[in-house]
Amino acid sequence: MELNEIIQQRIDKLSAFKEAGMRPYGQKFDKTCAVKDLLSSFEDGKDIVIAGRLMAKRKHGKVCFADLRDEGARIQLYVRKDDPLAEKDFELFNKLDIGDIVGIEGETFKTHTGEPTVKVKAFRLLAKSLRPLPEKWHGLKDVQIRYRQRYVDLIASPEVRDIFAMRSKIMSSMRSFLNSRGFLEVETPMMHLIPGGAAGRPFETHHNEYDMDLFLRIAPELYLKRLIVGGFEKIYEINRSFRNEGVSTRHNPEFTMLELYAAYCNYEDMMKITEEIFAHVAQEVLGKLEIEYQGQKINLTPPWPRRSFAQAVKEHFDINPEDETAVMVQKLRAKGRPVEDRLSRSQVVRLVEEILTADAPTQPVFFTDYFSILCPLAKNKPENPLISERFELYMAGMEVANAYSELNDPIEQKQRLQEELKEEAGSGQRCLDEDFVEALEYGMPPTGGLGIGIDRLCMLFLNQPSIRDVILFPLLRPEKGTEGAEG
Q: What are phi and psi of 79, to 5 degrees?
A: -125, 130
What angle, rounded to 10 degrees, do the helices at 410-423 and 434-441 form?
A: 160
- How many separate helices (H) and strands (E) can be counted in the chain? 14, 21
- Residue 292 annotated as binding? no
DSSP state of 99: T
Residue type at position 251:
H
Q: Which of 164, 82, 15 has the alpha carbon at shortest distance from 464?
A: 164
CA trace torsion 273, 276, 282, 287 (10° rounding): -160
236 sits in which H/E element: strand 234-242
438 sits in which H/E element: helix 434-441
DSSP notation for 306-329:
EEEHHHHHHHHH---TT--HHHHH
CA–CA dist 471, 168 (Å, integer): 11
CA–CA dist 230, 223 (Å, integer): 11
100 sits in which H/E element: none
- Residue 392 annotated as binding? yes
DSSP state of 425: T
Contact 130, 52 (CB under 8 A): no
- 448 three-state secondary structure: strand
Residues 6+ away with beta carbon under 8 Å from 139: none
Annotated binding site: 392, 399
Q: Which residues are annotated as a binding site for Mg(2+)?
A: 392, 399
